[in-house]
Structure 1
Amino acid sequence: MDILFLCVVIFLFLLAVFDLSVGVSNDAVNFLNSAIGSKAASFKRILIVASIGVFIGAAMSNGMMDIARHGIFRPEHFAFYDLICIFMAVMVTDIILLDVFNTLGMPTSTTVSMVFGLLGATFAVAMIKMAGGSELGFNDLLNTEKALSVILGIFLSVAVAFFFGTVVQFISRMIFSFNYRSHMKWKIGIFGGICATAIVYFLLLKGVKEMVFMTPEAKAWIGANTWLILGGSLVLFTVVMQLLHMLKVNVLKVIVMMGTFALAMAFAGNDLVNFIGVPLSGLESYNDYMANGAGDAHGFLMGSLNGPSDTPVWFLIGAGVIMVVSLATSKKTHNVSKTEIGLGSQQGGEELFGSSRIARRLVRWALRVIAWVRSVTPPHVRRWFNRRFNTDETIMDQGAAFDLIRGAVNLVLAGALIALGTSLKLPLSTTFVTFMVAMGTSLADRAWGRESAVFRITGVISVIGGWFITAGAAFMGAGVIALLMHLGGHWVMIALGALTIFLIIRSNRRFKARKEEENGDVMFQTIISSGDKSENWNLLLLYITQQQEKFLSYAGESYRGIAEAFVSENVRALGKAESNLTRQKSILKNDRRKETLCLRQVAHETAIEKSTWFYLSNNCCMGILYNLRRISEICKEHVENNFLPLPQAYVGEFREICSRVEILFNDTLAMMDTGGTEAIPMLRRHCDEIKDLISETYHRLYDQLREGDSASMTVLYVYMNMLQETQEMVSGLRKYLRAYAKLRDTQFRSHPTGEDRHQPLPA
Structure 2
Amino acid sequence: MEYYFLALLGFLGLVAIFDIFVGVSNDAVNFLNSALGCRIASFKTIMLVASIGVMLGATFSSGMMEIARSGVFNPQMFTFSEIIVIFFAVMVTDIILLDLFNSLGLPTSTTVSIVFELLGSALAAAAYTLMMDGASLANVIDYINSSKSLTIVSGILISVAVAFVTGAVVQYITRLIFTFNFEKMYRRVGGIFAGIALTAIFYFLVMKGAKGASFMQPEWIRFMDVNTWPIVGTLFVVLSIVFHVLIIACNINIFKIVILAGTFSLAFAFAGNDLVNFVGVPLAAWDSYQEWQASGVAAEAFTMEGLLKPTVAATGFLLFSGFVMVLTLWFSKKAQIVIQTSINLSSSNSGEQEQFGSSLPGRMIVRASMGLGKVIHQIIPMSVQKGIDRRFEPKKLERGETPLPFDYVRASINLVVSAALIASATSLQLPLSTTYVTFMVAMGSSFADGAWDRETAVYRISGVLTVISGWFLTALSASTMAAIVCAFTLWGGEIAALILAVGSTFLLIRSNLRAKLDTVNMRADLDTRYDAKKVRELVDTKTDSIFAQTLSVYRRLVTEFLNDNESALHHVKSDSSDLFDKVSADRGLYYRMANSSFTPSKKDFDARYCYYRIFTNIREVGRSLQALSKQATDHIANRHRIFQGELKNDLLSLVSYLEKITTDSAGKQDIQTVLAHSNEAVELIDHMQAELLRRIPNDGISVRGSELYLNFLVFARELVNRFAIAAVLEQRLDKIVTESSKS
**1:590-605 superposed matches below 5 A:** none
Q: Does the aligned pair in 2 maintain the 1:178–1:393 contact within 8 Å?
A: no
**Structure 2 CA distance, aligned partners of 1:621 and 1:37?**
29
Asked whether the 8 Å contact 2:62–2:214 carries over to 1, the reply is no
How far residue 564 of structure 1 moved from its aligned partner, in angstroms, is: 4.3
- For residues 296-335 of structure 1, what are the alpha-carbon distances to aligned partners after superposition, in whole Å with 9 as ceiling and x for unaligned? 2222111111111231111100000000011011111222
CA shift for structure 1 position 170: 0.7
Q: Is the 8 A contact 1:614 1:739 kept in 2?
A: no
Question: For the residues of structure 1 that align with 2:626 and 2:215, how far apart are their CA atoms?
Answer: 69
Contact preservation (8 Å) 2:180, 2:394? yes
* Residue deviations 1:580-621 (CA, integer Å, cap 9, x gap): 3455666688889999999xx99xxxxxxxx99999997776
CA distance in 2, matches of 1:398, 1:658: 44
Does the aligned pair in 1 maintain the 2:101–2:107 contact within 8 Å?
Answer: yes
Shift in Å, 1:279:
0.4
The TM-score normalised by the length of structure 1 is: 0.83
1:681 aligns with 2:679: yes
2:274 aligned with 1:271? yes
Q: 1:651 to 1:287 in 2, by over 3 A?
A: farther
Distance 1:230 1:617 in 2: 58
Change (3 A) 1:506 1:281: same
**What's the counterpart of residue 46 of structure 1?**
46
Between the aligned partners of 1:369 and 1:86, the Cα distance in structure 2 is 50
Label 1:722 to 1:552 Cα distance change in 2 as closer, same or farther (>3 A).
farther
State the identity as a percent.
38
Q: Does 1:258 align with 2:253?
A: no
Match of 2:245 among 243, 250, 253: 243
Structure-2 separation of matches of 1:68 and 1:45: 34
1:531-561 residue CA offsets vs partner (Å, 9 max, x unmatched):
x9xx99x979x97x99887676445433443
What CA distance in whole angstroms lies between the structure 1 residues aligned with 2:162 and 2:422? 11
Extract unaligned runs of 5+ from structure 2: 594-601, 604-611, 730-743
- CA separation of 1:521/1:94 partners in 2, compared to 1, >3 Å: closer, same or farther? closer
Q: Give 5+ residue unaligned stretches, structure 1.
A: 603-610, 703-716, 747-763
Which stretch shows the higher mean deviation, 5-14 or 355-364? 355-364
**Cα contact 1:485–1:492 (8 A) shared by 2:** yes
Give the equivalent residue in structure 1 for 2:569.
574
Residue 336 (structure 1) aligns with: 338
Query: Which of the residues 651, 655, 658 maps onto 2:652?
Result: 658
Counterpart residue number, 1:711: none
Q: Which amino acid aligns with 1:451?
A: E
Name the structure 1 match of 2:21. 21
Shift of 1:210: 2.9
CA–CA distance in structure 1, aligned partners of residues 226 and 588 of structure 2 = 59
Q: Which has the larger displacement, 560-569 or 691-700?
A: 691-700
- Secondary structure of the residue aligned to 2:41 is coil
| Displacement after TM superposition at 1:657 (Å) | 4.0
* Residues 88 and 173 of structure 1, relative CA distance in 2, 3 Å threshold: same
Alignment of 1:519-558 (within 5 A): 553-554=548-549, 556-558=551-553
Answer yes or no: is the 8 Å Cα contact 2:28–2:270 preserved in 1: yes
Following TM superposition, by how much is the alpha carbon of 1:405 offset from its aligned partner in structure 2, in angstroms?
Answer: 1.1
Name which of structure 1's ranges 264-273 and 655-664 shifts more when overlaid on structure 2: 655-664
Number of the residue aligned with 1:290: 293
Rg (Cα) greater in structure: 1
Q: Quote the Cα distance in structure 1 between the aligned partners of 2:128 and 2:39.
A: 54
Check the 8 A contact 1:74/1:141 in 2, yes or no: yes
The match for 2:556 among 542, 556, 561 is: 561
Q: Given residue 151 of structure 1, which amino acid in structure 2 is its aligned partner?
A: V
**Residue of structure 1 in register with 2:483 after alignment:** 479
Residue in 1 that maps onto 2:432: 428
Give the distance between the partners of 1:361 and 1:469, measured in 2 at CA: 22
CA drift of 1:43 comes to 1.7
How many residue pairs are counted as aligned between the two chains?
Answer: 712
Shift of residue 429, structure 1, vs aligned partner: 0.6
Evaluate the alpha carbon distance shift between residue 499 and residue 392 of structure 1 in structure 2; reply closer, same or farther with a 3 A threshold. same
Match of 1:454 among 451, 458, 478: 458
Of 176, 180, 183, 1:181 maps to 183
Equivalent residue, structure 2, for 1:413: 417
Of residues 490-499 and 363-372 in structure 1, the stretch that sits farther from structure 2 once superposed is 363-372
Q: Tell which deviates more after alignment, 209-218 or 62-71.
A: 209-218
Q: Contact 1:197/1:233 (CA < 8 Å) preserved in 2?
A: yes
Shift of 1:347: 2.8
Aligned residue type for 2:572: A
Given residue 164 of structure 1, which amino acid in structure 2 is its aligned partner? T
Contact 1:340 1:435 in 2 (8 A): yes
Aligned counterpart, 2:69? 69
Matched-pair contact (CA < 8 Å) for 1:350–1:594:
no
Give the match for residue 633 of structure 2: 632
Q: Is the 8 A contact 1:578 1:633 kept in 2?
A: no
Answer whether contact 2:54 2:267 (CA < 8 A) is retained: yes
SS in 1 for 2:395: helix
What amino acid does structure 1 have at the position aligned with 2:552? Answer: E
Shift in Å, 1:215 = 3.1
Matched AA of 2:466: S
- Change in Cα spacing, 1:69 to 1:721, as seen in structure 2 (3 Å) is same
* 1:138 aligned residue: 140
Instruction: Check 1:566–1:235 CA distance in 2 against 1; reply closer, same or farther (3 A cut).
Output: closer
Does the 8 A contact of 1:664 with 1:686 survive in 2?
no
Q: How does 1:601-616 map to 2 (within 5 A)?
A: none
Q: Confirm or deny: 8 A CA contact 2:418 2:437 kept in the other structure.
A: yes
